[in-house]
Amino acid sequence: MKQIRIGTRGSKLALWQAYYVQDRLQAHGMESEIVIIDTKGDQILDRSLSKIGSKGVFTEELEVKLGNGDIDLAVHSAKDMQSSLDEAFELIAFTPREKTNDVLLSSNKALSLESGVPFVIGTSSTRRIATLKSLYPHIKTVDMRGNLQTRIKKMQDGQCDALLLAYAGVHRMEYDDQIAQVLSLDTFTPAVGQGTIAIECAVALEKERKTKIKEALNDPATETCLKTERAFLKKLEGGCSIPVFGLATLSGNQIHFRAGIINLSGRKSIRIERQGPMDAPEALGLAMAEELLEAGAEAILKEIKGQL
Protein backbone atom coordinates (compact mmCIF):
# COMPACT_ATOMS: atom_id res chain seq x y z
CA MET A 1 0.00 0.00 0.00
CA LYS A 2 1.13 3.54 -0.80
CA GLN A 3 2.49 5.54 2.16
CA ILE A 4 -0.13 7.05 4.45
CA ARG A 5 0.13 10.82 4.80
CA ILE A 6 -0.65 11.98 8.34
CA GLY A 7 -1.72 15.61 8.74
CA THR A 8 -1.16 17.30 12.09
CA ARG A 9 -0.76 20.65 13.76
CA GLY A 10 2.77 21.55 14.73
CA SER A 11 2.58 21.93 18.53
CA LYS A 12 4.55 19.45 20.61
CA LEU A 13 1.35 17.80 21.87
CA ALA A 14 -0.01 17.53 18.33
CA LEU A 15 3.27 16.00 17.17
CA TRP A 16 3.24 13.52 20.07
CA GLN A 17 -0.19 12.44 18.85
CA ALA A 18 0.97 12.20 15.25
CA TYR A 19 4.01 10.06 16.19
CA TYR A 20 1.74 7.85 18.30
CA VAL A 21 -0.47 7.35 15.24
CA GLN A 22 2.57 6.70 13.06
CA ASP A 23 3.78 4.01 15.52
CA ARG A 24 0.39 2.27 15.52
CA LEU A 25 0.26 2.30 11.73
CA GLN A 26 3.80 0.94 11.58
CA ALA A 27 2.86 -1.87 13.99
CA HIS A 28 0.13 -2.78 11.50
CA GLY A 29 2.55 -2.80 8.59
CA MET A 30 1.73 0.63 7.20
CA GLU A 31 4.44 3.14 6.34
CA SER A 32 3.57 6.79 6.85
CA GLU A 33 4.81 10.33 6.60
CA ILE A 34 3.93 13.28 8.84
CA VAL A 35 2.79 16.56 7.26
CA ILE A 36 2.68 19.60 9.58
CA ILE A 37 -0.12 22.08 8.95
CA ASP A 38 -0.56 25.45 10.67
CA THR A 39 -4.09 26.38 11.79
CA LYS A 40 -5.82 29.58 12.83
CA GLY A 41 -5.95 28.26 16.40
CA ASP A 42 -2.14 28.07 16.42
CA GLN A 43 -1.68 31.54 14.96
CA ILE A 44 -4.08 33.60 17.04
CA LEU A 45 -2.80 33.46 20.59
CA ASP A 46 -3.90 36.81 21.97
CA ARG A 47 -7.62 36.11 22.09
CA SER A 48 -9.52 33.37 23.88
CA LEU A 49 -11.07 30.67 21.73
CA SER A 50 -14.54 31.78 22.72
CA LYS A 51 -13.82 35.09 21.00
CA ILE A 52 -12.25 33.75 17.79
CA GLY A 53 -15.33 31.60 17.26
CA SER A 54 -14.55 28.05 18.17
CA LYS A 55 -15.86 26.28 15.10
CA GLY A 56 -13.02 24.67 13.23
CA VAL A 57 -10.20 26.89 14.48
CA PHE A 58 -7.92 23.90 14.84
CA THR A 59 -9.38 21.87 11.98
CA GLU A 60 -10.20 23.99 8.95
CA GLU A 61 -6.75 23.97 7.33
CA LEU A 62 -6.42 20.22 7.93
CA GLU A 63 -9.76 19.62 6.22
CA VAL A 64 -8.66 21.56 3.15
CA LYS A 65 -5.75 19.12 2.76
CA LEU A 66 -7.94 16.09 3.45
CA GLY A 67 -10.32 17.34 0.79
CA ASN A 68 -7.72 17.75 -1.94
CA GLY A 69 -5.95 14.48 -1.09
CA ASP A 70 -2.70 16.05 0.17
CA ILE A 71 -3.12 14.00 3.36
CA ASP A 72 -4.99 10.73 4.04
CA LEU A 73 -5.87 11.35 7.65
CA ALA A 74 -5.83 14.20 10.13
CA VAL A 75 -4.92 13.69 13.78
CA HIS A 76 -6.85 15.75 16.34
CA SER A 77 -7.34 15.94 20.08
CA ALA A 78 -10.95 14.70 20.07
CA LYS A 79 -11.78 17.53 22.46
CA ASP A 80 -10.91 20.13 19.84
CA MET A 81 -13.27 18.66 17.22
CA GLN A 82 -16.47 20.55 16.56
CA SER A 83 -19.57 18.38 17.06
CA SER A 84 -20.79 18.62 13.46
CA LEU A 85 -18.46 17.90 10.57
CA ASP A 86 -18.94 19.00 7.00
CA GLU A 87 -20.53 16.09 5.10
CA ALA A 88 -17.32 15.44 3.13
CA PHE A 89 -15.47 14.38 6.30
CA GLU A 90 -15.84 11.76 9.01
CA LEU A 91 -14.15 10.61 12.20
CA ILE A 92 -13.20 7.00 11.56
CA ALA A 93 -11.24 6.10 14.70
CA PHE A 94 -10.68 7.02 18.34
CA THR A 95 -7.51 5.83 20.07
CA PRO A 96 -7.58 4.16 23.53
CA ARG A 97 -8.44 6.88 26.00
CA GLU A 98 -5.98 8.30 28.51
CA LYS A 99 -7.17 9.19 32.04
CA THR A 100 -9.76 11.91 31.49
CA ASN A 101 -9.26 14.00 34.65
CA ASP A 102 -8.27 17.63 34.85
CA VAL A 103 -5.21 18.31 36.98
CA LEU A 104 -3.83 21.27 38.89
CA LEU A 105 -0.27 21.89 37.76
CA SER A 106 2.15 24.00 39.77
CA SER A 107 5.79 24.30 40.73
CA ASN A 108 4.38 24.47 44.28
CA LYS A 109 3.14 20.94 44.80
CA ALA A 110 1.55 21.85 48.14
CA LEU A 111 -1.17 23.93 46.43
CA SER A 112 -4.68 22.61 46.90
CA LEU A 113 -8.08 23.96 45.90
CA GLU A 114 -9.56 22.77 49.19
CA SER A 115 -7.03 24.48 51.47
CA GLY A 116 -8.98 27.76 51.39
CA VAL A 117 -5.76 29.66 50.63
CA PRO A 118 -6.29 32.01 47.68
CA PHE A 119 -4.08 31.70 44.60
CA VAL A 120 -4.19 32.45 40.87
CA ILE A 121 -4.86 29.87 38.16
CA GLY A 122 -4.09 30.47 34.50
CA THR A 123 -6.82 29.07 32.26
CA SER A 124 -9.02 30.26 29.41
CA SER A 125 -11.47 27.39 29.56
CA THR A 126 -15.00 28.64 30.29
CA ARG A 127 -15.85 25.26 31.83
CA ARG A 128 -12.92 25.37 34.24
CA ILE A 129 -13.40 29.05 35.13
CA ALA A 130 -17.12 28.58 35.85
CA THR A 131 -16.49 25.45 37.92
CA LEU A 132 -13.86 27.28 39.97
CA LYS A 133 -16.23 30.23 40.55
CA SER A 134 -18.92 27.86 41.70
CA LEU A 135 -16.92 25.65 44.07
CA TYR A 136 -13.75 27.58 44.91
CA PRO A 137 -14.66 31.29 44.87
CA HIS A 138 -11.42 32.18 46.70
CA ILE A 139 -9.45 31.22 43.56
CA LYS A 140 -8.72 33.92 40.97
CA THR A 141 -8.16 33.12 37.30
CA VAL A 142 -6.18 34.83 34.56
CA ASP A 143 -6.58 34.21 30.85
CA MET A 144 -3.93 31.89 29.47
CA ARG A 145 -3.65 30.46 25.98
CA GLY A 146 -0.90 28.95 23.90
CA ASN A 147 0.57 25.49 23.97
CA LEU A 148 1.45 23.70 27.18
CA GLN A 149 5.10 24.72 27.10
CA THR A 150 4.16 28.41 26.67
CA ARG A 151 1.73 28.26 29.55
CA ILE A 152 4.22 26.63 31.87
CA LYS A 153 6.76 29.30 30.96
CA LYS A 154 4.17 31.99 31.80
CA MET A 155 3.53 30.29 35.14
CA GLN A 156 7.27 30.19 35.88
CA ASP A 157 7.44 33.90 34.97
CA GLY A 158 4.91 34.56 37.72
CA GLN A 159 1.77 35.25 35.67
CA CYS A 160 -0.08 32.67 37.78
CA ASP A 161 0.55 30.18 40.58
CA ALA A 162 -0.95 27.16 38.86
CA LEU A 163 -2.56 25.89 35.67
CA LEU A 164 -5.67 23.79 35.27
CA LEU A 165 -5.16 21.30 32.45
CA ALA A 166 -6.17 17.94 31.03
CA TYR A 167 -4.12 15.12 32.54
CA ALA A 168 -3.72 13.61 29.06
CA GLY A 169 -1.71 16.52 27.68
CA VAL A 170 0.32 16.96 30.86
CA HIS A 171 1.23 13.28 30.92
CA ARG A 172 2.07 13.12 27.21
CA MET A 173 4.35 16.13 27.58
CA GLU A 174 5.92 14.53 30.67
CA TYR A 175 5.04 17.17 33.24
CA ASP A 176 3.64 14.62 35.72
CA ASP A 177 6.13 15.75 38.36
CA GLN A 178 4.36 19.14 38.56
CA ILE A 179 0.88 17.74 39.21
CA ALA A 180 -0.26 19.13 42.56
CA GLN A 181 -3.78 17.65 42.41
CA VAL A 182 -5.74 15.25 40.22
CA LEU A 183 -9.26 16.67 40.23
CA SER A 184 -12.37 14.55 40.62
CA LEU A 185 -14.40 13.56 37.56
CA ASP A 186 -17.58 14.51 39.42
CA THR A 187 -16.58 18.11 40.14
CA PHE A 188 -14.36 18.84 37.12
CA THR A 189 -16.25 16.60 34.71
CA PRO A 190 -14.16 16.82 31.53
CA ALA A 191 -15.03 18.34 28.21
CA VAL A 192 -16.45 15.96 25.62
CA GLY A 193 -13.63 13.98 24.02
CA GLN A 194 -10.94 14.81 26.58
CA GLY A 195 -8.06 12.32 26.60
CA THR A 196 -8.54 10.65 23.23
CA ILE A 197 -7.20 11.21 19.74
CA ALA A 198 -9.66 11.40 16.85
CA ILE A 199 -8.74 10.35 13.31
CA GLU A 200 -10.48 12.29 10.57
CA CYS A 201 -10.64 11.24 6.91
CA ALA A 202 -12.36 12.41 3.78
CA VAL A 203 -15.50 10.37 3.13
CA ALA A 204 -14.09 9.94 -0.39
CA LEU A 205 -10.93 8.18 0.82
CA GLU A 206 -10.43 4.78 -0.77
CA LYS A 207 -12.41 2.14 1.19
CA GLU A 208 -9.56 -0.31 1.71
CA ARG A 209 -7.26 2.38 3.04
CA LYS A 210 -9.94 3.58 5.44
CA THR A 211 -10.57 0.08 6.77
CA LYS A 212 -6.87 -0.54 7.40
CA ILE A 213 -6.42 2.80 9.14
CA LYS A 214 -9.41 2.09 11.35
CA GLU A 215 -8.15 -1.40 12.24
CA ALA A 216 -4.79 -0.02 13.29
CA LEU A 217 -6.06 2.88 15.37
CA ASN A 218 -9.60 2.46 16.64
CA ASP A 219 -10.45 1.37 20.18
CA PRO A 220 -14.10 0.20 20.08
CA ALA A 221 -14.79 1.00 23.76
CA THR A 222 -13.50 4.56 23.34
CA GLU A 223 -15.46 4.88 20.10
CA THR A 224 -18.70 3.96 21.90
CA CYS A 225 -18.04 6.54 24.62
CA LEU A 226 -17.14 9.23 22.10
CA LYS A 227 -20.28 8.54 20.05
CA THR A 228 -22.34 9.10 23.20
CA GLU A 229 -20.54 12.30 24.11
CA ARG A 230 -20.50 13.74 20.62
CA ALA A 231 -24.21 13.06 20.00
CA PHE A 232 -24.85 14.91 23.27
CA LEU A 233 -22.66 17.85 22.25
CA LYS A 234 -24.16 18.04 18.78
CA LYS A 235 -27.67 18.39 20.17
CA LEU A 236 -26.51 21.15 22.52
CA GLU A 237 -24.59 22.75 19.66
CA GLY A 238 -21.75 23.27 22.07
CA GLY A 239 -18.40 24.15 20.60
CA CYS A 240 -15.34 23.94 22.84
CA SER A 241 -15.98 27.44 24.16
CA ILE A 242 -19.30 26.57 25.85
CA PRO A 243 -19.07 25.28 29.46
CA VAL A 244 -20.75 22.00 28.69
CA PHE A 245 -19.20 18.79 29.94
CA GLY A 246 -19.83 15.11 29.37
CA LEU A 247 -18.05 11.89 30.20
CA ALA A 248 -19.17 8.44 29.11
CA THR A 249 -17.58 5.29 30.54
CA LEU A 250 -18.45 1.63 30.08
CA SER A 251 -19.44 -0.79 32.81
CA GLY A 252 -20.37 -4.25 31.65
CA ASN A 253 -22.54 -3.80 28.58
CA GLN A 254 -23.85 -0.44 29.79
CA ILE A 255 -22.74 3.07 29.02
CA HIS A 256 -22.61 5.28 32.09
CA PHE A 257 -22.94 8.92 31.09
CA ARG A 258 -22.56 11.96 33.32
CA ALA A 259 -23.01 15.34 31.72
CA GLY A 260 -24.11 18.86 32.35
CA ILE A 261 -23.76 22.58 31.86
CA ILE A 262 -22.73 25.48 34.07
CA ASN A 263 -23.34 29.17 33.49
CA LEU A 264 -20.41 31.58 33.25
CA SER A 265 -20.81 32.98 36.77
CA GLY A 266 -20.84 29.46 38.17
CA ARG A 267 -24.11 30.17 39.99
CA LYS A 268 -26.30 27.86 37.96
CA SER A 269 -25.41 24.36 36.95
CA ILE A 270 -27.32 21.27 35.93
CA ARG A 271 -25.89 17.75 36.06
CA ILE A 272 -27.44 14.47 35.00
CA GLU A 273 -26.21 10.88 35.18
CA ARG A 274 -27.84 8.05 33.24
CA GLN A 275 -27.10 4.59 31.86
CA GLY A 276 -27.92 3.15 28.48
CA PRO A 277 -27.18 0.06 26.39
CA MET A 278 -23.79 -0.12 24.69
CA ASP A 279 -25.29 -0.70 21.26
CA ALA A 280 -27.12 2.66 21.22
CA PRO A 281 -24.62 5.36 22.19
CA GLU A 282 -26.08 8.14 20.07
CA ALA A 283 -29.57 7.57 21.51
CA LEU A 284 -28.22 7.97 25.05
CA GLY A 285 -26.28 11.12 24.18
CA LEU A 286 -29.28 12.66 22.45
CA ALA A 287 -31.70 11.75 25.26
CA MET A 288 -29.36 13.28 27.84
CA ALA A 289 -29.10 16.48 25.83
CA GLU A 290 -32.87 16.70 25.52
CA GLU A 291 -33.37 16.07 29.21
CA LEU A 292 -30.76 18.69 30.07
CA LEU A 293 -32.30 21.26 27.72
CA GLU A 294 -35.69 20.77 29.35
CA ALA A 295 -34.20 20.95 32.82
CA GLY A 296 -32.94 24.49 32.12
CA ALA A 297 -29.91 24.15 29.87
CA GLU A 298 -31.76 25.93 27.09
CA ALA A 299 -31.99 29.10 29.15
CA ILE A 300 -28.38 28.81 30.31
CA LEU A 301 -27.13 28.36 26.72
CA LYS A 302 -29.07 31.40 25.61
CA GLU A 303 -27.62 33.44 28.45
CA ILE A 304 -24.06 32.27 27.62
CA LYS A 305 -24.37 33.00 23.90
CA GLY A 306 -25.35 36.56 24.76
CA GLN A 307 -22.26 36.94 26.96
CA LEU A 308 -19.46 35.44 24.88
Ligand X SMILES: NCc1[nH]cc(CCC(=O)O)c1CC(=O)O
Active site residues: 80
In contact, 55 and 233? CB cutoff 8 Å:
no
From 85-93, 133-141, 165-173, 225-233, span contacting ligand X (CB under 6 A): 165-173
Query: Shortest gap between Cβ of 233 and ligand X (angstroms)?
Result: 14
In contact, 274 and 257? CB cutoff 8 Å:
yes
Query: Shortest gap between Cβ of 147 and ligand X (angstroms)?
Result: 9
Query: Shortest gap between Cβ of 275 and ligand X (angstroms)?
Result: 24
Q: From the list 7, 56, 122, 169, which residue makes contact with ligand X (rule: CB under 6 A)?
A: 169
Does 168 contact ligand X by CB under 6 A? yes
Does 147 contact ligand X by CB under 6 A? no
Q: From the list 24, 79, 127, 230, which residue makes contact with ligand X (rule: CB under 6 A)?
A: 79
From 26-34, 109-117, 166-174, 260-268, span contacting ligand X (CB under 6 A): 166-174
Residue 189-208 contact track with ligand X, rule CB under 6 A, x = bound: -----xx-------------
Does 8 contact ligand X by CB under 6 A? no
Nearest CA to 159 out of 182, 181, 141 is that of 141
Query: Shortest gap between Cβ of 2 and ligand X (angstroms)?
Result: 29
Nearest CA to 127 out of 269, 277, 7, 11 is that of 269
Shorter beta-carbon distance to ligand X: residue 181 or 276: 181
The strand ranges marked E within 252-299 are: 254-262, 269-277
In contact, 225 and 96? CB cutoff 8 Å:
no
Task: Enumerate residues 19-78 that contact ligand X by CB under 6 A.
Answer: 77
Does 165 contact ligand X by CB under 6 A? yes
From 23-31, 164-172, 198-206, 267-275, span contacting ligand X (CB under 6 A): 164-172
- Other Cβ atoms less than 10 A from the Cβ of 150: the count is 13
User: For residues 90 and 55, what is the distance between their CA atoms, to the nearest angstrom?
Assistant: 16
Shorter beta-carbon distance to ligand X: residue 92 or 197: 197
In contact, 89 and 201? CB cutoff 8 Å:
yes
User: H-type helices in 136-249, by residue range?
Assistant: 148-156, 167-172, 207-217, 220-236
Q: From the list 75, 166, 226, 236, which residue makes contact with ligand X (rule: CB under 6 A)?
A: 166
Nearest CA to 95 out of 3, 220, 208 is that of 220
Shorter beta-carbon distance to ligand X: residue 42 or 282: 42
Kindly list the strands in the beta sheet with 140-142, ordered across the sheet, starting from the edge strand earlier in the chain. Answer: 140-142, 120-122, 162-166, 102-105, 179-182
Give the chain's largest Cα–Cα span. 59
Shorter beta-carbon distance to ligand X: residue 32 or 125: 125
User: For residues 250 and 49, what is the distance between their CA atoms, to the nearest angstrom?
Assistant: 31
In contact, 95 and 222? CB cutoff 8 Å:
yes
Total number of residues that touch ligand X (CB under 6 A): 9
Shorter beta-carbon distance to ligand X: residue 189 or 194: 194
Binding site residues, ligand X, CB under 6 A:
77, 79-80, 165-166, 168-169, 194-195
